[in-house]
Chains A and B, each alone.
Chain A
Amino acid sequence: MLRRLVFLLLLLPLACIDPYNVNAPDGERYLTVEGYITTDPGPHSIKLTRTDTYGSAFEGLIRPVVQATVAVRDSEGLVSFLTETSQGVYETPANFRAKVGMSYTLQIDLSNGQSYSSLPELVKAVPKMDSVSYRSVSVATDSRLLDRSGVQLTAHFKDPGDESNFYYWRTGPATFVVVANPELFTLSPNHPTNPRGAAPKDCCAICYYQEQRRVQNFAIGTDVDFNGLSTRKQVTFIEDDGLRFKDTYRAEVQQMAISDNAYRFLKLIEQQLSITGSVFDQPPANIRGNMINLADPDEVVLGYFIAADIDTKQIYIKRTNLDQKLLQTPSIIPDDCRIFPGADTAIPSDWNPN
């Protein structure tokens, strides 16, 4: 009897399992606006895309928004139409430049009839940078044997005391000397007669390469702590990859004056980017930009249209002026330097390291 009862009890936990199909709703495809205009001569570009659902893996593509009518309008009513130069990328006319003291709005009419407008962005004068300095730095990594190293750029400027200022620093296109060793060129391992044989080339050891990093570092600041004072601010870190600082590297630092709302937006972006997963992190937040759907003001539009005054300074970083102990082991290119994608032997017309 007891044995039967045991068998009966063993049957009880058994059950059929119905698979549970998770039908996650499709995420909304938000309009995303990237770009800014400055007081520099144009063209300035605005990029329009639609987000796609993001889950355990990308389920779609981030699609450009094409055939939109995009215009920048100043506070006096002057409208500058942007031209779509590539899919989803709209550029201002080449002679367009923002003016200090004017407010600008970005207006977008999509092909589906939806209209969007930014909140007005006032362009305030940016204090000029007195100088840009640099120093070698080393950054600890997870590996105890291998540190990251590079160059830290610092902007020096005097903040005006009669107003609140909000700063935004970016780097422009950089150019550096690509040093190669064509005299070390060897033949292919599959060469029929002389595999790996020495075959020095006459040309070329020196090339110039313009680098435009796809993901940009940025820095922001407010004059709460230095209102009216001369100050300095670390604006970017350029990592030494073994090639950049073999000879001379030209960096371009852009200092912009932005609105308080733009500063708050970028501050939230910066906070979200710095989340590491620790308990001290900022909580994840839904960051709202300044673009509004005119028919539905509550629609989420990602991105922020910035209009800013800009000051740009270039600095030449020579290898001899860097701390040699903090430099990475130089990478060797045993070939013509022109094999480096994008490198050219022509000296840039504005190259003046002396």
Chain B
Amino acid sequence: MKIGNIGFFALFMSVICIFSSCEEDIDVSPSLVTEDILYVSGERVRLLARIITTENINASDHGFYIADNEAFSNPIIVSLGERERPGRFIGETGELNIEKTYYGKSFIALNGSLQFGNTIALQTLSPEAFQFSPNNGTGGLIVNVFGKNFTADSKVFFGDVPAEILDISFESRITVRVPPIAGRAVVAVKVVSQGKEMPMITPFEYTVGKYTKLSNFPEALRLLDNIYFQQGNQFFVGLGSDRGLNLNQNIWKYSPMTAAWENTGFPGRPLMMSFSSGQFFGGGSYVLGRAPYLAARDFWQVTDGVYKKLPDLPFDRINSVAFEIGDYLYVVGGDVGFPFEAHRYQKSTGLWARIQNAPFSINSSIINFNFQNKQYFINPENRELVAFDALSGFWGVVGTYPGEFGAGAGFGLAIGDRVYVGMTNRSLELWELNMTNLNWVKKNNFSGSPIARNAGVFADNGLIYILRSPEIQLSTPMELWSFDPNGF
């Protein structure tokens, strides 16, 4: 019996041993992977990491170590705090230096010890500044500087003066307020990010330009539909009508040296709406009034102040545009006949010839100017700046006028490689066109009355002289103004 009990006990223990086992604890320590660099710029990096595990963790901290050495001595620690769930996390820092190699790795703090993910290397980028816009204006203007990898400490200088930084967006666009003008109208612009200087190719041009009223015209008349031209430093203005009420037979000349007007004693009959260029004038109407016009074919040459009547024009021209290039006088468009029509007069032979038509309707109210053997016109229908190449006879679009047209009849005048365009009727705007890069810069608005027309525009010694003829409803005399494009 005892033996049986022992046997039963042995069998029982054997069964217990067979059906029981030790339960081994499964190691569920999470895997940590530094996955990718989401973003890297000059000073900023954004890293992505993932905690992979099958259960929640109770990490007291997680984040990234970033350092400029693989040993991670003196690291920048991006701490994201406690974390319970596995999954992705993103860490970011903006404390890096530009153009430098860094190393980054993720970490989690578990049970008092740190667990690190794999290390990835990254190279911070170099800031660059490309352009800014607008490139001209007054102090206080808001300007955007475009580039890449701008750092938070970026500064923008206009000359030596730092601009107020309003915003840096996406590290690629700095919005600044232009500082007030300080000594120079054209200043270099540069961006400085973490000590790296990035000068811009084009300078910023402050809106400048100083208008000075010189004198009143000595006569009481106010010219309308008149002619004007310049020979050397002598300005000629005359013919046309007095306010559209009486024809004017006189031509005066003005010299900036003497600042005096003088009647030149024109021997011909009065004309209005004639064309004029440096040496020639003619056409127009010999009777006061509008269409139908009574066209005059008078054609005059002025040399050293001496008038010489040339053979009559072979065509009628009213309000045409005239200009001289080389040995030729060109007469284009007008208000009678075909407004696209163009003629050429050879000074040496005295022969007229019909040339290729203009691409659009032209008359004397069209802004036009001469620059380096090309005549430029601004098409009022679409603001296109169209160049006429006298050598090839080709008309081509080269740009667009940004200003306002007012009621037309503005002027265009070249001084050096800059052209001044504007002051159309009832408009005070004046623009400067840089002929080297076709960049338009606005100048200060005319400070005189807008209720006047340009009766004559001349250039001498870097200044523009404008004879302003008040409109008929005013009783003020004509005024001579000077304009210094760089004055302020």
Show the binding face of A for B, using Cβ within 8 Å.
71, 73, 76-79, 81, 105, 107, 117, 119-120, 292, 294, 297-298
Interface residues in B38-59 by Cβ distance below 8 A to A read 38-39, 41-42, 46, 48
Question: Can you list 7 contacts pairing A with B, beta carbon distance less than 8 Å?
Answer: A73-B170, A77-B128, A77-B148, A79-B172, A105-B38, A294-B46, A297-B90
Contact present for A120 and B36 (CB under 8 Å):
yes
Q: How far is the CA of A120 from the CA of B87 in the complex (A)?
A: 19
Contact present for A292 and B172 (CB under 8 Å):
no
Contact present for B172 and A119 (CB under 8 Å):
no
Contact present for A119 and B87 (CB under 8 Å):
no
For B38, the chain A residues whose CB sits under 8 A away are: 105, 117, 119-120, 292, 294
What is the distance, in angstroms, from B475's C-beta to the closest C-beta of chain A?
54
Q: How far is the CA of A119 from the CA of B46 in the complex (A)?
A: 11
Leading 3 A-B pairs by shortest Cβ distance: A297-B88, A79-B172, A77-B148
Q: How far is the CA of A76 from the CA of B36 in the complex (A)?
A: 16
For B46, the chain A residues whose CB sits under 8 A away are: 117, 294
Q: How far is the CA of A297 from the CA of B38 in the complex (A)?
A: 12
Contact present for A297 and B172 (CB under 8 Å):
no
What is the distance, in angstroms, from B185's C-beta to the closest C-beta of chain A?
32
For A119, the chain B residues whose CB sits under 8 A away are: 36, 38, 48
Q: How far is the CA of A77 from the CA of B171 in the complex (A)?
A: 8
Q: How far is the CA of A326 from the CA of B127 in the complex (A)?
A: 61
Interface residues in B135-183 by Cβ distance below 8 A to A read 148-149, 170-173
Q: How far is the CA of A294 from the CA of B48 in the complex (A)?
A: 10
Q: How far is the CA of A239 from the CA of B409 in the complex (A)?
A: 63
Task: Assess whether B125 is interfacial by the CB under 8 Å rule.
Answer: yes
Most B CB contacts (10 A, CB to CB) among A77, A292, A294 go to A77
For A120, the chain B residues whose CB sits under 8 A away are: 36-38
For A294, the chain B residues whose CB sits under 8 A away are: 38, 46, 90, 92
Contact present for A79 and B171 (CB under 8 Å):
yes
Q: How far is the CA of A119 from the CA of B92 in the complex (A)?
A: 15
A71/B170 contact (C-beta < 8 A), A77-B41, A119-B36, A119-B48 known: yes
What is the distance, in angstroms, from B38's C-beta to the closest C-beta of chain A?
5
Q: How far is the CA of A208 from the CA of B193 in the complex (A)?
A: 55
Q: How far is the CA of A107 from the CA of B170 in the complex (A)?
A: 9
Contact present for B170 and A117 (CB under 8 Å):
no
Task: Assess whether B401 is interfacial by the CB under 8 Å rule.
Answer: no
Q: How far is the CA of A294 from the CA of B46 in the complex (A)?
A: 9
Q: How far is the CA of A77 from the CA of B127 in the complex (A)?
A: 8
Contact present for A117 and B39 (CB under 8 Å):
yes
Contact present for A77 and B48 (CB under 8 Å):
no
Contact present for A292 and B48 (CB under 8 Å):
yes
Nearest opposing residue in chain B for A78, CB measure: B148
Task: Assess whether B340 is interfacial by the CB under 8 Å rule.
Answer: no
Task: Assess whether B89 is interfacial by the CB under 8 Å rule.
Answer: yes
What is the distance, in angstroms, from B196's C-beta to the closest C-beta of chain A?
13
Contact present for B90 and A292 (CB under 8 Å):
yes
Nearest opposing residue in chain A for B127, CB measure: A77
What is the distance, in angstroms, from B406's C-beta to the closest C-beta of chain A?
33
What is the distance, in angstroms, from B23's C-beta to the closest C-beta of chain A?
33
Q: How far is the CA of A105 from the CA of B87 in the complex (A)?
A: 22
For A298, the chain B residues whose CB sits under 8 A away are: 85, 87-88
Q: How far is the CA of A208 from the CA of B42 in the complex (A)?
A: 52
Q: How far is the CA of A117 from the CA of B90 in the complex (A)?
A: 11
For A78, the chain B residues whose CB sits under 8 A away are: 148, 172
Q: What is the 8 Å Cβ interface bit string for chain B, positions 4-48, against chain A (1 contact, 0 not)?
A: 000000000000000000000000000000001111011000101
What is the distance, in angstroms, from A294's C-beta to the closest C-beta of chain B?
6
Q: How far is the CA of A119 from the CA of B38 in the complex (A)?
A: 6
What is the distance, in angstroms, from A150's C-beta to the closest C-beta of chain B?
42
Contact present for B172 and A77 (CB under 8 Å):
yes
Nearest opposing residue in chain A for B148, CB measure: A77
Known: A79-B171, A79-B172, A297-B88. 16 other contacts (CB 8 A): A73-B170, A77-B128, A77-B148, A78-B172, A79-B148, A79-B170, A117-B39, A119-B36, A120-B36, A120-B38, A292-B38, A292-B88, A292-B90, A294-B38, A294-B46, A294-B92
Interface residues in B47-79 by Cβ distance below 8 A to A read 48
Q: What is the 8 Å Cβ interface bit string for chain B, positions 84-122, against chain A (1 contact, 0 not)?
A: 010111101000000000000000000000000000000
Q: How far is the CA of A79 from the CA of B46 in the complex (A)?
A: 16
Contact present for A77 and B87 (CB under 8 Å):
no
For A76, the chain B residues whose CB sits under 8 A away are: 125, 148
For B92, the chain A residues whose CB sits under 8 A away are: 294
Contact present for A297 and B48 (CB under 8 Å):
yes
Q: How far is the CA of A117 from the CA of B41 in the complex (A)?
A: 14
What is the distance, in angstroms, from B52's C-beta to the closest C-beta of chain A?
13
Nearest opposing residue in chain A for B38, CB measure: A117
Q: How far is the CA of A73 from the CA of B37 in the complex (A)?
A: 13
Q: How far is the CA of A37 from the CA of B204 in the complex (A)?
A: 35
For A107, the chain B residues whose CB sits under 8 A away are: 170
For B37, the chain A residues whose CB sits under 8 A away are: 120
What is the distance, in angstroms, from B46's C-beta to the closest C-beta of chain A?
7
For B173, the chain A residues whose CB sits under 8 A away are: 79
What is the distance, in angstroms, from B481's C-beta to the closest C-beta of chain A?
44
Q: How far is the CA of A292 from the CA of B89 in the complex (A)?
A: 10
A77/B36 contact (C-beta < 8 A), A71-B170, A297-B48, A297-B87 known: no
For B149, the chain A residues whose CB sits under 8 A away are: 77
For B36, the chain A residues whose CB sits under 8 A away are: 119-120
Contact check: which of B85, B89, B125 meets A77 at CB < 8 Å? Answer: B125
For B128, the chain A residues whose CB sits under 8 A away are: 77
What is the distance, in angstroms, from B278's C-beta to the closest C-beta of chain A?
44
Q: How far is the CA of A191 from the CA of B231 in the complex (A)?
A: 80
Most A CB contacts (10 A, CB to CB) among B36, B39, B42 go to B39
Nearest opposing residue in chain A for B86, CB measure: A298
What is the distance, in angstroms, from A42's C-beta to the closest C-beta of chain B?
17
Q: How far is the CA of A294 from the CA of B148 in the complex (A)?
A: 21
Q: How far is the CA of A85 from the CA of B320 in the complex (A)?
A: 46
Most A CB contacts (10 A, CB to CB) among B37, B48, B149, B170 go to B170
Q: How far is the CA of A292 from the CA of B87 in the complex (A)?
A: 12
Q: How far is the CA of A107 from the CA of B90 in the complex (A)?
A: 15
Nearest opposing residue in chain B for A103, CB measure: B37
What is the distance, in angstroms, from B261's C-beta to the closest C-beta of chain A?
55
